[in-house]
Every structure is written in structure tokens, then in C-alpha cells.
Amino acid sequence: MEWISLYSANTQPTPAEIAQYINHPLWTKLTTYLQDNYQVEPKFTYSGCSAQPGWNVKYQKAGKSLCTLYPMDGFFIAMVTIGRKEEVEAELLAPTFTEYVRTLMKKADKLNGARWLMIEVTDDEILENVKTLIRLRRQIKGGEHAKTNN
């Protein structure tokens, strides 16, 4: 069953229900990474957006969006923004990313000076690309001592 059909705007899923629907260890790896390294708690919001409707999970630090996560059956989508401040460094790092993420970066149209990447997180390499893009948005205090949660 599709995510949007399971939980209406009036029925917020629990974190356990989200994890059970996604049913992939990468979900726990990323959410734990975000909470451990950025000391942030998830914000659960309902979106009527036609591109990705339903409940999603947002992570923000000091008013700045780190990412928004969209549950899918067997995986999840991480929406990460590459803003003007991150643009040059993201381009320099692009050759280290998977072909899939490089293609998304090339095809993403700019909206208000930023590229909004909807990244389907399906393997560890893509997950590491997502973490790198999030670190461009906001550095982890302690740098190389950051918890990797692998």
C-alpha cells in the first residue's frame, strides 16, 4: 500500500511505523547519524505537495534545513538542497559521488538559486553521498571526530 494511503493528514505515524514501512537499515543509519552528530530531533509534517504527498520527516539545525526524508516502500527519499553557499564545494565533490547522484545534480533545475535534490537512498554509497551533502549545509562540530554510525 502507498504511504499516502496509510496515514491521512489527521493520523500521524509513529517513528516505529515509519521505520517498519521503509523496512531498510539505511533509514536507521541516517536518522541516528543526524541525531548523534547534529543533536536534532525529527519534525513530522504532512505535505499535500503533489510531488511527494503524505507524512515526511524534517531535520533542521539552527533554523537551517539539513534534509527532509520521505518514506517509500523498501527505501526512502532524502531531499537535500544545494544552496548558493554550497554550490562550489558541491561541484568540487561531485566526481566523488555515485553516477546516480551526479546525474541528479546535473538535471536539477535551480529554484531561487538552489538545487533541490530528491535522492532515492537505496544503498550505502548513496547514503554516504547524502551525508556529504548534508555536511555542506551544516558542518558537524568536531569535524573528523563525527560519529559515522556504520
117-136 pLDDT, tens digit per residue, is: 999 999 999 999 999 999 99
45-104 pLDDT, tens digit per residue, is: 999 876 788 999 999 998 889 999 999 999 999 999 999 999 999 999 999 999 999 999
| The predicted structure's pLDDT at residue 50 | 67
Query: Is the whole-model pTM more than 0.85?
Result: yes
CA 59 to centroid of chain Cα atoms: 8
| The predicted structure's pLDDT at residue 115 | 92
Q: With the CA atoms of 93, 96, 100 and 103 taken in that order, what torsion angle do they form, in degrees rounded to the nearest 10?
A: 40
Q: How confident is the model at residue 145 (pLDDT cuts 50, 70, 90)?
A: very low
Cα–Cα dist 46/86, whole Å: 28
Which domains are seen in the chain, by residue range?
3-139 (3.30.1460)
26-41 pLDDT, tens digit per residue, is: 999 999 999 999 999 9
Q: What share of the chain is helix, strand, coil (3-state, %, to 5)?
A: 45, 25, 30
Side-chain-facing half-sphere of 125: CA atoms under 13 Å: 7
CB atoms within 10 A of CB 39: 9
Cell triple for 4: 499516502
Residue 147 has pLDDT above 70, yes or no: no
Length of the chain: 150
